[in-house]
Amino acid sequence: MTALTHAPNVPQVADTDVNDPKLRQVIDGAAITKSPPQAWYRTMGHNPEVAKAFANYWDLLHRGGAVPHQIKELARIQIAQMIGCDFCARQTSPLAATITEEEKTCCALPNWEHPDAKTRAALHYARTLTLDDGRDTAVYEELKEYYSNAEIIELAAFFCLTAGGNRMAKSWSIEPHGGVSAIPAGAISIHGRESMAASKPHLEPTEAELIQRACQGDKEAFYSLVRPCERAVYTTAVSILNNSEDAEEVAQEAVLKALAHLAGFRGEAKFSTWLIQITINEARLKLRKDRRHLYESVDEQRTSEDGEYFPKDFADWREIPSEALQRKEVREALKCAIASLPLKYREEFVLRDVQQLRIEEAAQILGITEGSVKTRLLRARLRLRDALAPGIDGSWSMGKPEYQKVRPW
């Protein structure tokens, strides 16, 4: 169909018929922003209120927000190519001049990956939302490495608005699709199950997938699990043993033990966390086994360089009563202070400061938000400070079982 015979399903409003000054401002502005172009808003001009609302929302998500404009613009082009809207695929925002021709041409090809990890994660997300290809779990794991939850919401809203806009433009048939198509041959398409199955983006396997493959005997999968945390394992061992050779030995033992018990890994924490815990246990075990060097033989004669004998000094290892009493008082005070916390604060304190769980893990266990975790932990620590700080209420020296503040602050 040529431009002369093209008849759009929804015609454009003539410039002389645009009476709304704000709609006129939107159409004139589209001559500069170009994404979407004036033809889009002229078509929407049949309903000025919807056109103006769309323009405001589009400006907020496309040219505003926290995610870089270039990333969102490249994803918009990718979505247009996957949906098959030649009209939208031809448009390019002048604010995204850094996007190369290679990126425009290849962004929707099944085997092409963007070299920048952050951009690549956003493109994978755009593909999954557009194609509904079942890769949600893997895609969100990748997204969370580079974007906050607020930025993920921003991307989701923009991608969904873009996909809907592309379908609208394609259905309206705003302009003829004559000449060279802006959609490259072999691009991923939403049409046809075969093309969807062949066009799943190449993503790194998830941790669960690697563990499953490793349990089935795939050595490379196990190497992929261990490789990212090799340095953390070695550093942990060195921090406990203070000896590089012993640390290397312990690191090897930890990895071998992880491999031997991989089938029993329950997935309650990350594999790296589990492996580091094994390393800590192995390092502590080695310390207990190697305590012989801390002792000297009682029977061995000690002589100076001149051969003169001098007696040994034996330390008195008996417990000092005053120190033992002080430690007992501290333990009892700490026990009573923790017990005096309200349940919700006590649970939070134990999970974070005793068990050393991460904020997101504590939030998941307690079923609350991460912000609530931080607030409760702060309040728990403040309450413990009031209960334990000497001189506030004299509980330690007076032997009171309860802890009450006597000062208004």
Percentage, residues of the chain above pLDDT 70: 81
Nearest C-alpha neighbor of 298 from the set 312, 310, 282:
312
| pLDDT tens-place string over residues 72-104 | 889 898 998 888 888 788 877 888 778 888 888
pTM of the predicted structure, to 2 decimals: 0.47
Res 124: pLDDT:
92
Query: Is it the case that residue 206 has pLDDT exceeding 70?
Result: yes
In CATH terms, are 15-198 and 207-290 the same topology? no
Res 320: pLDDT:
79
The domain limits of the chain are 15-198, 207-290, 325-398
Query: Is it the case that residue 281 has pLDDT exceeding 50?
Result: yes
> 207-290, what's its fold?
Rna Polymerase Sigma Factor; Chain: A (1.10.1740)
> 15-198, what's its fold?
AhpD-like (1.20.1290)
Phi, psi of 303 (to 5 degrees): -130, 155
Q: Which one is the CATH code of 325-398: 3.10.20.30, 1.10.10.10, 3.30.450.40, 3.40.47.10?
A: 1.10.10.10
